[in-house]
Amino acid sequence: MSERKQRLLKAHRRNKRIALLVALLVLILIGVLVAWWWVPVLLVLGWVAHEAWFADHLFYRSNDDYQYEFAFGTSIQDARIDAQGLLTLDRPAAAGDTLVLEVRLRATWFGRWVDPAVLMGDDRQEFERGVRGRRYLNLSGQADALSAGNLKVRGYLCRVAPEARLFVQANEDFAQRRVMIVAPHADDAELAAFGLYSRCAQASIVTLTQGEIEAEEYQRLGLSLSQAAELKGRLRSWDSLAVPLWGGVDASRCVQLGYYCLQLKPMAAQPAQAFGSRESQQSDIRTVRQHNPLTLPADVDGQPTWHNLVADLKALLEHYRPEVVVTPHPQLDPHADHIASTQALFAAIAISSWKPRQALFYANHLHDNDRWPMGRAGAGVALPPAIEALPADRLWSPMLSTATQLNKAMALGMQHDLQGRPALKKRLRRCIQYWLAGRRWPATGEDEFFRKAVRRHELFWVRDLND
């Protein structure tokens, strides 16, 4: 956790305690001076207001500017949005597949209570309530409308400043190359890259962990916690091998390594020590490897050690010989297993005889905003909050057709960890936000990832590895 986030978290908790204390004093005064029955009424109204407008976890201020530096060679053009909303450039747009528009937004008064958005042609990208500052719109897929001079950019519950800048980046289509996707858990490959791997004739998917923890749901079957965790690990391991077939990736190109959830970070700290499951009481990773299409170094002893993990990844690099590896972003994605997965991959690349040419980074989680991508399923993916500067990598944001988006939603629906109903509190919160804050969720599934991941874009940060 960054120092900035720690400061904001402390300030948030301090302000919350102060607000609760003030509210308690006000309620006592109302109960004494007005009428006691006002107290429960105001408590209910206060809870509803909290769930509608103050339940988001944003560890930055809505008036903070996003900080982005773009890779060397990015075309930068001045742009202007006229009174009718038409986006015009100072010269013809450069050729490229990934277009990002830097704008300055300022929420209206209503935009403090309902999520403000920017409408661009047939796309809608939403931002933080009360937004005021520099943001980055994803115009990928809108190049024809932009070149024709009929692309409109209009604010909804926010004002868009007329001055803007367009960043254009050109990439090859990485789906035409040999691609290896590193997934810390079952479903990470689908969340980040289903559109990519479903178009790729030579994709391989390597899932590092069983994902067995937080298995309380399975205890309803009469199982102990360890038995429930073992079952969940088996189910999610099966998901990691079976679900990619929906996207056209054969089982011969899917591998489950069987390491244990939230143990990758301690493994990295003590590379020779074995770290078994925290919940299933298992310590032999071979229990979920029987369907793998090849034998790997850790199959010899089944020990969940960092040395074995790096050796497994080295063997897979040399077997599948990927030109492109896809892995969690080392700065943006804060999940401990995701950070360690990328660390292990790069350790394997360092000792492997096969060297990929590029890494594509993805972020399925964020430090600063647990709602990103904000807005509705099917919409575009604006650039995420970057309050602290990121490395100046290229961006690649391929489009997903409507049919691919539906297939991606169905692939997520097959994942056991994304099934089932949310907790009652979350369902009540959604109902309140639906009516009071104008938020919408898709019909394809109730887990939040059906809203966040099924979009018209996927987004990757591109880093050349052989420079």
- What confidence tens digit (pLDDT) does each residue in 349-373 have? 999 999 999 999 999 999 889 899 9
- What confidence tens digit (pLDDT) does each residue in 279-324 have? 999 999 999 999 999 999 999 999 999 999 999 999 999 999 999 9
Q: Is the pLDDT of residue 396 over 50?
A: yes
The pTM is what?
0.94
pLDDT band at 163; cut points 50, 70, 90: very high
Specify the pLDDT at position 22. 77
Specify the pLDDT at position 6. 63
Nearest to 285 by CA among 267, 262, 309: 309
Specify the pLDDT at position 1. 42
- Top-confidence residue, 49 or 418: 418
- What confidence tens digit (pLDDT) does each residue in 93-134 have? 889 999 999 999 999 999 999 999 999 999 999 999 999 999
Q: Is the pLDDT of residue 405 over 50?
A: yes
Q: Which residues pair with 359 in a beta bridge?
A: 325, 463
- What confidence tens digit (pLDDT) does each residue in 453-467 have? 999 999 999 999 986
pLDDT band at 173; cut points 50, 70, 90: very high
- What confidence tens digit (pLDDT) does each residue in 22-58 have? 777 776 777 777 777 777 877 888 889 889 998 888 8
Average pLDDT estimate for 324-335? 95
